[in-house]
Amino acid sequence: MARFRFRLQPLLHYREYRTEQAKHELARLAADEQSLRAAIEQLRERMRALEVHSDCTPAHQLQVLDAHRQHLAEQISTLERELEFLSIERERAELRLAERMQEQDVLERLRQRRYEEYMLEERRDEQRQLDDIAGRRHQAA
């Protein structure tokens, strides 16, 4: 019995590799996006804490608090722009992953179909051999 060999196996391995790369890239972008969201939330918490302290702060420190609040607002704005960009990149990565998974799936289905054809042919060959053996026995008897 000859061993099954899929001629496009190297291409299938390459597509599997590309799919894995796309998965890792998507995971990295999702993690970056999550940590950026956490950083934004942390800055917002600091802003809320400043609001609480501004009620009991002497007048001469209000200007310093206001400058600090403005600085935090600018940081939040910058991080939100980065988050927007990162979200777009993550969406692109999701599309790339879907495309690569589809490319891999096409080859896997082709491989499965070729394997089924191979097994059918192997069963036919085996049946021919059995028929041939039975025919020779029948002739000898």
Sign, Cα dihedral of 31, 37, 39, 45 = negative
Q: What is the pTM of this model?
A: 0.77
Domain ranges of the chain: 9-107
- 109 sits in the region (left: phi over 0; alpha: psi -120 to 50; else beta) called alpha
Asked if residue 22 has pLDDT above 70, the reply is yes
The Cβ of residue 100 has, within 10 Å, a number of other Cβ atoms equal to 19
The pLDDT tens digits for 29-76 are 999 999 999 999 999 999 998 877 666 667 777 788 888 999 999 999
